[in-house]
Amino acid sequence: GKQWDVVVLDPPKLCPSAKFLKPALRKYEKLNTMAMSLVARGGILMTCSCSGAVTRSDKFMIMLNNAAARAGRDVKILRVSGASDCHMTSLRYPEGNYLTVITLM
């Protein structure tokens, strides 16, 4: 199939609360496996999660590793980030730190 040099995967919120973490991670893994298959060798995948429960679980990287294995890819992390500097979060409201953006090659 057709492959691309750059793929951006920015799905809607898949995990409304920690109660839904396991099924959400399965969905993220399936989506990321498909996205990795669409990236040409040497290309870039920017993958995102706007689900706070996923961000705070620290399981997003594990899921990406599983997706890479399923896609037969050896991916490298280029950058891990979140919201831009203009999207400040309060120490009193850690739930505001919900955006995860990981750029892979």
* Active site annotation includes 48: no
Q: What is the pLDDT of residue 60?
A: 94
- Tell me how many degrees the CA angle 49-26-70 measures, rounded to the nearest 5: 100
More confident residue, 90 or 105: 105
Q: Which residue has the higher pLDDT, 89 or 27?
A: 27
CB 71 within 8 A of CB 104: no
The answer to whether residue 95 scores a pLDDT higher than 90 is no
Are the C-beta atoms of 46 and 102 separated by less than 8 Å?
A: yes
Question: Of residues 15, 48, 50, 86, which has the active-site annotation?
Answer: 50
Question: Residue 85 pLDDT > 90, yes or no?
Answer: no
Q: What confidence tens digit (pLDDT) does each residue in 4-32 have? A: 999 999 999 999 989 999 999 999 999 99
* pTM strictly above 0.85: yes
Structure confidence by residue, pLDDT tens digits, 20-68: 999 999 999 999 999 999 999 999 999 999 998 888 788 999 999 999 9
